[in-house]
Chains A and B, each alone.
Chain A
């Protein structure tokens, strides 16, 4: 799978869905693209901007040929000026438009942090509700094929820290579409962080427009022994871990957090209360990140239900190495999640 191309290779795991599964399958990229296409068709305020959104690859396929259908005024390439263009998107949103600003990789959002963090996230609060910023910022975490330290950063922990930003990390093709449509309809700045490995999947995606509410997690597999709370691509890894553990007689629940801000506290706490044993898995670093925040939540509000210490599965606190032997050592997956769960269960009476 060369770096510049990512194609759907297989179906996503047989996740539990809240609703009946559509027999129609789309790739992850097609699901995102369909959301954008429908939003552009349904709402004249929506536009899509970003470096390469009209190029022949169409941002991993998510924006492919949308400029041909909706015009170059509404789907346009941008200068490599992340902060300026983020501010321009903020201004357009304040002026009543609904921009969707695509970034190839979250690493480049660092260049736009002033406008995203100092401006977009604060505008509604700072002006006492006088002006709001309906803006969607999209970026896809790179992984593999030597992406290295500046094309693979999972920065959700940073964005999670910022009040006024909503933060969404889909794990399924269904959610990739439904959360995008919700983000576009939202009256606030919403950051969507995708993961390159999700793009290997095909999944159930209904054709009609639908929204997945931001702030509501989902149980992808019911279980009673251990709760595996996971984000984005780690939901797939957690699901595989649950299948491994099932053969060992350990019954895992897989919880897909879906949104990190707002976080579905009730779902997390109720799953933790049911099993008493929790593994939290994230695609990002451990320190000050998603696993830390979710663990703190459970300790603060659900401590009494815990039968064992919380386990965290996250990347070590080093920049991502390029070489594949070190890359393998850096990333965590199903085996690490399974090992963490076994640790929790070993003293089970």
Chain B
């Protein structure tokens, strides 16, 4: 969590230099979900994700240098500079690509789970999606199919309450409809998405169910998008949500609260935290240096990768 958090802050702090020429969608305040879920996964397990995918990518073990180089649109980026920030991939750790079409990753992650079943592999597939994607019909189509076929997929609904500037209450008539599905058909859960241990525990059970052939689960993680929809910094001045609302969720920061708990319980010391931060920052420095020094894709390669031979 600390690593994801600090990577986000570094990206944000350098974004104004205009060297990362790609839209960014920061997941500050949502770190616990990616971490709590992915801590239950093996490298061979699949995840699929969305435009707001930095956290998922890193939590699943995606290469940090590849991420930063992708933001710098370099040939060494995880998508070789063809994808940008919204299209991250690291197939070596089961991250098979993120879609920036809202809801686009939902059926793909479901199909990955189908492939696990058909190939009789010991693998599960986790689909991260937000409340914007929960508006889309493709969620209904995918979850229905997953229940019908009892395939090993876990749906993680990151309800951060906002789609750009539109609050979930303006878009949805009530609770997510799948909470009303009989638990015999699919187990669903609602957790505090800012509490990493709660997320971890719910995901642990869901992953276990999927792995043991008991079909799909859905976990709603209630959270909040601290920053604006895209770009760096606060969007408080836009006025679609109150400063008090933002402050109240900042107080629920999953990283600092978990850190305080660990300190309180004597599991970790301030010194260890400082060491961790130093180590993380050194790794981030190195990743940015790698990205900045990496070559850009060449103009003559614009048609490369259209088709796979």
Question: Please, how many angstroms separate the alpha-carbon atoms of A300 and B125 in the complex?
Answer: 48
Residues of B within 8 A of A89 (CB): 111
CB pair B114–A128 under 8 Å, yes or no, is no
Question: Taking the nearest CB of chain A, how far is it from the CB of B244, in angstroms?
Answer: 38
Q: Mark A50-88, 1 if CB is under 8 A from B, else 0.
A: 000000000000000000000001100011010111111
Chain B facing A: main interface SS: mixed
Chain A residue numbers with a CB within 8 Å of B81 are 128
Of A73, A74, A88, A125, the contact of B110 (CB 8 Å cutoff): A88
Verify B89–A95 contact, CB threshold 8 A.
no
Contact residues of B with A, CB < 8 Å? Answer: 46, 48, 77-83, 87, 89-91, 96-97, 99, 101, 104, 106-116, 118-119, 125, 137-138, 140-142, 144-145, 148, 304-309
Contact indicator A90/B111 (Cβ below 8 Å): yes
A217 to B221 CA separation, bound complex (whole angstroms): 54
- Which residues from chain A contact B307 at a C-beta distance below 8 Å? 124, 164, 166, 187-188
A129: which of B90, B104, B148, B305 is its contact (CB, 8 Å)? B305
A94 and B112 contact, Cβ closer than 8 Å, known pairs A128-B79, A130-B97, A132-B308:
yes
Q: How far is it, in angstroms, between the C-alpha of A84 and the C-alpha of B141 when the chains are bound? A: 5
B116 and A127 contacting across the interface, CB-CB below 8 Å? no
Mark A residues whose CB is within 8 Å of B. Answer: 47, 73-74, 78-79, 81, 83-97, 114-115, 118-119, 123-132, 163-164, 166, 187-188
Nearest CB in chain B: distance from A181 CB, A:
18
Known: A84-B141, A87-B106. A129 touches B96 (CB 8 A): no
Choice from A86, A118, A127, A187 contacting B101 with Cβ under 8 Å? A118
Chain B residues with CB under 8 Å of A125's CB are 82, 305-306
Q: Are A187 and B119 in contact (CB under 8 A)?
A: no
Q: What is the distance, in angstroms, from B37's C-beta to the closest C-beta of chain A?
A: 18
The reply to whether A91 and B99 form a contact with Cβ atoms under 8 Å apart is no
Do B107 and A124 touch across chains, with their CB atoms under 8 A apart? no
A–B pairs, 5, beta carbons within 8 Å: A81-B141, A91-B107, A91-B114, A118-B101, A128-B89
Q: A90-B107, A97-B115 are in contact. Are A84 and B142 (CB under 8 A)?
A: yes
